[in-house]
Amino acid sequence: MQLKKLLEKKNLSKNDIIRLLSVKNKQEIEMIRKKAYFVMKQHCGEKVYYRGLLEFSNLCANNCYYCGIRKGNKEIMRYSLEKEEITNIAAWCADNGYGSIVLQSGERRDSKFVDFVEDVTKKIKEKTKEKTKEKTKEKTKEKTKSDRLPNGLGVTLSVGEQDYAAYRRFFEAGAHRYLLRIETTNPELFKKTHPKNQTLKNRKKCLRILKKIGYQIGSGVMIGLPGQTIEDLADDIMFFKKYDIDMIGMGPYITHRQTPMKRYGQETKNRKEDVFNLSLMMIAVTRIALKDVNIATTTALQALYPDGREKGLQYGANVIMPLVTPKRVRKEYMLYDGKPCIDEDTDECKLCLLGRIKTIGRSVGFDEWGDPKHFLNRTKK
């Protein structure tokens, strides 16, 4: 089938996805990019939504073989932010129009941690709702602004695999989105990249629980893992579809020198370029296949090329996650080597991203949650 005809198909099969991901010709890549952009515009609009990313603790009980903050890495300074600092940062996000915050940390399931996450989520909601009320009373221009966030700041959690009770408590505390990356849906690759106690089966189970509870669910994969094929990536996209994933965050796999997988470096210029281009194609093809989901342009893209995140937006992404982690601990949350934005502070990131988004002619959905249309559509049914 000609590429043009393939791009008109309403539902893409796994083989269609493989064909699209395999395209190497520049003209054809541009056709796919344009189609992805068109689909995004049609189903989600052109706005870019912010989620302030707060990496509130780098303590982790796990040992994923690729991750820089794995428990086995003794070279980093461990930190956990206090509740007060977290809620103040959340208030900063609300004041600066970010609309949503993502609370991310290493994975822990102890009761102290679960209590902490539940409580800090509640506090963020209370604090940002209070602010909204205050502003409304003021009867200033702010009124319109606060009316757009009537339920306070949107809270997304990304704290790994938990049990039903913990997920339920977080949801009732006010978190309405949850990110849990599957990393790869190929069982063999998953085994090669995780210790035995972590299973693909459990991760899938967690995603099903999250959906049942009523979260907007996010997932994603690493692109360019050693031994990963185009067919694996096509399976990943089919998985997003089957599991009704609402939000997708995918990025190139970049090594960290203090991990067991350090030998798989971005050693050659060609590999770096290939993995970058494949990541952009994954964004575009996922957009074409899934249409109304939110797709984030990840910081890992910018780690490979300075304009990586802008490129992600041009290939069909509509979400960006500006770092709001305090500058003093940013370098302790290096999941991979060469992570950008660790020497900047939150205000610098705000200005820098705005400039980047403007250069590609997009605007930011300030003061909006920017919930995924896919979630709204699937829950309407």
Nearer to ligand SF4 among residue 71 and residue 373 (C-beta) = 71
**Smallest gap, in angstroms, from Cβ of residue 97 to ligand SF4?**
29
Footprint of ligand SF4 on residues 130-169 (CB under 6 A)? Answer: 160
- Reference 276, options 254, 247, 249; nearest CA is 254
**Binder among 32, 40, 69, 124 for ligand SF4 (CB under 6 A):** 69
What is the separation of C-alpha 164 from the centre of its chain, rounded to a whole number of angstroms?
22
Which phi and psi (to 5°) does residue 363 adopt? -120, 165
* CB atoms closer than 10 angstroms to residue 133: 12
**Which position among 20, 36, 39, 64 is part of the footprint of ligand SF4 (CB under 6 A)?**
64
Question: Among 33, 35, 51, 70, which residue interacts with ligand SF4 (rule: CB under 6 A)?
Answer: 70
Interaction of residue 117 with ligand SF4, rule CB under 6 A: no
Q: Which of 7, 17, 48, 67 forms a contact with ligand SF4 (CB under 6 A)?
A: 67
Binding part of the chain for ligand SF4, among 65-73, 110-118, 165-173, 226-234 by CB under 6 A, reads: 65-73
By CB under 6 A, the residues from 23 to 62 that bind ligand SF4 are 60, 62
Instruction: Quote the CA–CA distance of 196 and 201 in Å, as a whole number.
Output: 12
Among 52, 106, 174, 365, binds ligand SF4 (CB under 6 A): 106
> Which CB sits closer to ligand SF4, 61 or 278?
61
Q: CB-wise, 65 or 92, nearer to ligand SF4?
A: 65
Which of positions 321-340 make contact with ligand SF4 (CB under 6 A)?
A: none
Number of residues lying near ligand SF4 (CB under 6 A): 10
Whole-number minimum distance, CB 30 to ligand SF4, in Å? 34
CB 93 within 8 Å of CB 125: no
Q: Which stretch binds ligand SF4 (CB under 6 A): 66-74, 138-146, 272-280, 368-376?
A: 66-74
Minimum Å gap between C-beta 62 and ligand SF4 is: 4
Residue ranges that bind ligand SF4, judged by CB under 6 A: 60, 62-64, 67, 69-70, 106-107, 160
